[in-house]
Amino acid sequence: MHKPARHLVTIAALLSASAVMAEYPEHPYPWYIGATLGKAQVEDFSSNSMRYDLILGWQPLSYLAIEASYINLGKYVDASASDPLLRIDGFGGALLGFLPINDRVKATGRLGLHRLDIEHGFEGYEAKLARVVGVGAEWVLQDRLAMRFEFQHIADITDRHANGKYDVNSLIAGVLYRF
């Protein structure tokens, strides 16, 4: 694409974004931090584990947010596996959509990518990108404080040296503080 055409495409994209931002109201406290706890289950493993997340988010519009997070999916044991201990954690980001149900409750949807690292025993492997999808609800307790409940499915956590790929299902609950 020639330079003038690229500039026109960029200007059109910026104007479109401005129109969308004008149509939807800004969130009064766009930044937030949070933490979640929950249960996670690796498919084909006999145990489940406690999981936790640390979140930093930016919600410029009432219906859209971007999150960066650290996920620790915990430790799993499978006595039938050749290497029975598995640990999974890593960093990533997600795009969240919000659909208001009433003044205090919103349905949420998540699409994201996380660079998750797998360790078997004490041996770590190269971290790979995994897809994260989630559905849930956010309940506003007061102007700056909210609770979030979510079901997440993390697909294709890659372990190149052992069993291939893992999928993880989890239920989480957490608290968000807006500023």
Domain boundaries, the chain: 25-178
Higher pLDDT, 46 or 153: 153
Cβ(161)–Cβ(129) below 8 Å: no
Instruction: Give the pTM.
Output: 0.79
Instruction: Mention every residue, 6+ apart, whose C-beta is less than 8 A from residue 153.
Output: 132, 133, 134, 167, 168, 169
Mean of the pLDDT values across residues 13-27?
55
Structure confidence by residue, pLDDT tens digits, 65-113: 999 999 999 888 766 666 667 788 999 999 999 999 999 999 999 999 9
Confidence category of residue 19, pLDDT binned at 50, 70, 90: very low
Query: DSSP readout, 109-123?
Result: EEEEEEEEEEEETTE
Both tokens assigned to 142: 């007061």
> Which CATH code is given to the segment(s) 25-178?
2.40.160.20
